[in-house]
Structure 1
């Protein structure tokens, strides 16, 4: 098992939730960190709360500005003179029925969750190839493995990530690159509160399932272990993880169970 200690790691979506928790855990392990999101003030707070803030750099980033990704990647690499791991964590969710969802909402979900992640990954890829070493860690979702009502655009964008990164792993195994897809279930973040509704506004309130999910600290610890083991793909959560296996072997049963759970919580 490879140790993550003292690695240089770039984290997107680092101003809150999973990204913030990862920053704290990785700082404790002596890692040099580059933290990115749109919210520079929040990033500064996260850096100040890290165990070793002197080895944390702030790199403000809007993941939808694809044309800036090559220069942002250069800035990230130059921050400490090297880069070992890119953690693709930036993303946004959705809570609206297909019939009620504006097309622009779907476009925004794809722009942020999929195309933005692809753009930053492609910007880092030549550097990893040149050094013949590097690890892409992408936070997807269990919704990238099976679907659920009122999450159509979110599910679509997360499914797309699995397809892209599976191929990236295959194409660049010869370059000694690693790819880990991390699919969380319910985690105690603001993802449901910040989710887009049909007209593109933020939902504004949390889900009970998320409120009762894994803590971000527990999730970060599990994710770090998965990276050290260089896992291809890992699922994290409670009983919702069973959905991955039901989808594969008993898709009709999963269909009925998801609809029943949706009706119960609607």
Structure 2
């Protein structure tokens, strides 16, 4: 489904996207994935490893990256020399230039940068320390911008490359309990949409914003709360969320086809993006109505995500 240059994927499209996946468009490329130690980044590494590419895996947890690498070698089509483990802290911006040079030294080029690293948030704005907002901007926004700026000159010199950023549905809409996270994702969308316009004279360089809805991962478990040192640690049910493997498969469709922006979600969550795009007044009314219940659940100690989203999905089904 396409709307105003924006591609959207949902469950009803499953018979179609296999036909749209030109996997040969991604073979023989050097792909650098941040946040590769878990969730979407980890699954992306597994699916890319089957396509005959060179893979750079980055995150802060080296032992988890090694685990992902081993699984890529066991189940993919890559050899030891095809995978580079490159520890990276997105908040340590002074290290990004050296990291970029390390990739170029190892493989000679960077064809695709996948900006996937980041952290979410679950807390009321009024209770949240300013340090949490700072951490979200430093990691999700400035860290991603910094690494992109280090890689971009290389792509401009070659006049080709793909910059793929895993944003979020909440980079488009609003989500209560995630003020800092939403702000950082809105900032990313604005940055990369503007960067795309600045690169209009380089048609070989493509910018893709990937905006998933609820996806099965540890993003809520690792989300910040009202304090930086206090993650949620949530182990709530995620059955209502899209499977990570399917989300990543659709991401590969977007990457292979150089799509500018992609909304990936099951219904009814995808509908909310459409409402925000075309019927904002109604979207505000529904968001405010949903916010009251979500905040009530949160204050009473009930998992705000699973309790609310399960009920919404049940009504839709």
TM-score range, shorter chain: over 0.9
Farther-moved stretch of structure 1 (239-248 vs 89-98): 239-248
Report the counterpart of residue 235 of structure 1 in structure 2. Answer: 263
Aligned to 1:189: 217
- Deviation string, structure 1 residues 229-258 (Cα, Å, up to 9, x no partner): 100000001121222221122223222322
Q: CA deviation at 1:178?
A: 0.4
Per-residue CA distance 1:155-181 (angstroms, 9 max, x = gap): 000000011001111111212210000
Alpha-carbon distance, 1:128 to partner: 0.3
Partners of 1:212 and 1:123 in 2: CA distance: 38
Query: Which residue of structure 2 lines up, in the alignment, with residue 157 of structure 1?
Result: 184
Q: TM-score, normalised by structure 2?
A: 0.81
- Paired position in structure 2 for 1:223: 251
**Range with bigger deviation, 95-104 or 47-56:** 47-56
**Alignment correspondent of 2:280:** 251
Q: How many equivalent pairs are there? A: 265
Kept in 2, the 8 Å contact 1:185–1:236? The answer is yes
Alignment of 1:18-167 (within 5 A): 18-50=40-72, 51=76, 52-54=78-80, 55-167=82-194
Give the match's secondary structure for 1:9. Answer: strand
How far is 1:214 from its partner?
1.2
Q: Residues 196-215 of structure 1: matches in 2 within 5 Å?
A: 196-200=224-228, 201-206=230-235, 208=237, 210-215=238-243
In structure 2, stretches of 5+ residues that fail to align are: 1-21, 298-317
| Contact 1:34–1:79 (Cα < 8 Å) also in 2 | no
Q: Which has the larger radius of gyration?
A: 2
Structure 1 regions of 5+ residues with no counterpart? none
User: Secondary structure, in 3 states, of the residue corresponding to 1:235?
Assistant: strand
Of 205, 211, 222, the match for 1:177: 205
Task: Classify 1:53/1:253 alpha carbon distance in 2 versus 1 (closer, same or farther; 3 Å).
Answer: farther
Q: TM-score, normalised by structure 1?
A: 0.96
**What is the CA–CA distance in structure 1 between the aligned matches of 2:241 and 2:68, rounded to whole Å?**
22
